Amino acid sequence: MGASKTRGYTEEQIAISVLLKAMGHPARVAIIDFLLKQKACICKDIVDELPLSQPTISQHLSALKRAGLIQVSIEGSSLCYCLRAEGFRLISQYMAQLSEYSFDDNKSC
């Protein structure tokens, strides 16, 4: 996001938008679901699990990593992926604010 497009927004608003945008594809949600169950995994495990090619999965993993939702470590000649708590904590806090909001169906807009 360019500097001129972020002017006027808080750092938190920008961070949340980056995180939610990264999660805005069903393949990325599926990757996150897989990592939730596995705690950590090798890229090949994800390729075996999802109906996508290895290059496509790598692109989705890169987007999640750039957003700060996953981290990668090297284990031998393999890349091991796991979830990063910080990004998910921020999303969780934001969603908690939404869930605490009193949505009144009778209120007119």
> pLDDT per residue over 62-96, tens digit each?
999 999 999 999 988 888 999 999 999 999 999 99
Give residue 75's pLDDT: 84
More confident residue, 61 or 2: 61
Q: Is the pLDDT of residue 22 over 70?
A: yes
3-state secondary structure of 2: coil
Does residue 99 sit within a domain? no
What's the CATH number where 36 sits? 1.10.10.10
Does residue 109 sit within a domain? no
Does residue 46 sit within a domain? yes
For residue 19, the enclosing domain spans 10-94
Enumerate the β-bridge partners of residue 71: 82
Helices 11-22 and 85-100, axial angle in degrees (round to 10): 100
Enumerate the β-bridge partners of residue 74: 79
Q: Domain total for the chain?
A: 1
Does residue 107 sit within a domain? no
pTM: 0.83
Does residue 3 sit within a domain? no
Per-residue 3-state assignment (H helix, E strand, C coil) for 7-21: CCCCHHHHHHHHHHH
